[in-house]
């Protein structure tokens, strides 16, 4: 079983590695963007790590307390999506003595979500002042929810990739991004470049829902098609960092157009957290400090 300190370290490491990876369109180690800087994300990571590692908190409590902690150190929304994804994962990992128990533990956590979890989550989303949410005819974020958090996510699944993870037991991470990240790391890639590849795999798998909401689905689909081309090329090459110039150019283009695949970045952060948890359970631990 992972200790409180091990979970805290994993949360900080995953959050830090996500922002340090060369992911086109996001704030990264090569380029700030969208009126945010790398240090905003590092401060946010440091703020949420002890909250996520606090034993016994409900998913809703983790979400609200993490957003409150974030708002104490930054005045922008750096990590709402990360918080929404990390909270059930951290609740679930507390129940596990082996990594292979995590999918079932996660399923149990999600099935047990309550109306109070939804209420606390809605409060956190309003506090984070997330942009591009739009409105809904049912259980709108501006209102007090009357259904469980899982039910609320079910209503949003077609317009939000994070909501879809809640109702699919995080299937995209298990099926798409964690294998991509793990295979890249096992082949000798650095964490930064393995993360970038996992990000592109996610982006090639489905249009980013933040782009869909802030721009339109046509724009999001064009970004996905570009990611597919890059993944196809990368799969034929032995070293990912040879694509640095291409990714940098695309990063500049996306930011000039204010296009931010932010939900994909959140998903890759959660993927890194899964990898860190797996590493933590391993008898021959590797690299999470």
Q: Hey, where are the domains in the chain?
A: 4-281
Output 157-166 pairs: Cβ under 8 A, ≥24 positions apart: 159/134, 159/209, 159/212, 159/213, 160/209, 160/263, 161/206, 161/208, 161/209, 161/263, 161/264, 161/267, 162/81, 162/84, 162/85, 162/209, 162/263, 162/266, 162/267, 165/85, 165/267, 165/270, 166/88, 166/110
- Nearest alpha-carbon partner for 219 in 261, 251, 252, 247: 261
CATH architecture group of domain 4-281: Orthogonal Bundle (1.10)
Instruction: Give the confidence band of 76 by pLDDT, cuts at 50, 70, 90.
Output: confident
**For residues 21 and 195, is the Cβ–Cβ distance under 8 A?**
yes
Is the whole model's pTM more than 0.75, yes or no? yes
How confident is the model over 35-63, as pLDDT tens digits? 568 889 999 999 999 999 999 999 999 99
**For residues 85 and 44, is the Cβ–Cβ distance under 8 A?**
no
Quickly list H helices, 94-147: 102-111, 115-128
Radius of gyration of the chain (CA): 18
- Nearest alpha-carbon partner for 162 in 11, 269, 276: 269
pLDDT, residue 140, reads 76
The proportion of the chain whose per-residue pLDDT surpasses 70, expressed as a percent, equals 92
pLDDT, residue 131, reads 55
How confident is the model over 169-190, as pLDDT tens digits? 999 999 999 999 999 999 999 9
């Amino acid at each position: 079983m992972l200790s409180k300190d091990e979970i805290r370290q994993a949360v900080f490491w995953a959050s830090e590695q996500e922002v340090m990876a060369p992911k086109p369109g996001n704030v990264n180690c090569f380029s700030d963007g969208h009126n945010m800087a790398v240090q905003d994300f590092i401060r946010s990571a440091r703020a949420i790590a002890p909250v996520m590692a606090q034993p016994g908190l409900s998913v809703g409590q983790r979400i609200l307390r993490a957003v409150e902690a974030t708002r104490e150190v930054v005045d922008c929304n750096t990590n709402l999506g990360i918080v929404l994804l990390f909270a059930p994962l951290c609740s679930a990992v507390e129940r596990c003595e082996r990594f292979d128990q995590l999918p079932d533990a996660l399923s149990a956590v999600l099935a047990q979500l309550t109306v109070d979890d939804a209420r606390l989550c809605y409060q956190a989303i309003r506090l984070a002042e997330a942009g591009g949410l739009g409105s809904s005819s049912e259980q709108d974020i501006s209102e007090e929810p009357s259904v469980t958090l899982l039910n609320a996510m079910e209503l949003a699944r077609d317009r939000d990739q994070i909501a879809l993870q809640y109702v699919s037991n995080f299937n995209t991470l298990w099926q798409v991004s964690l294998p991509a990240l793990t295979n890249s790391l096992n082949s000798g890639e650095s964490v930064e470049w393995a993360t970038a590849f996992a990000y592109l795999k996610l982006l090639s798998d489905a249009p980013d829902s933040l782009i869909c909401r802030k721009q339109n689905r046509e724009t999001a689909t064009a970004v996905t098609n570009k990611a597919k081309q890059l993944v196809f090329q990368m799969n034929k090459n032995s070293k990912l960092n040879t694509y640095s110039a291409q990714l940098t150019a695309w990063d500049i283009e996306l930011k000039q157009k204010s296009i931010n695949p932010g939900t994909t970045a959140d998903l890759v952060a959660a993927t890194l957290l899964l990898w860190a948890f797996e590493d933590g359970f391993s008898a021959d631990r590797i690299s999470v400090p």
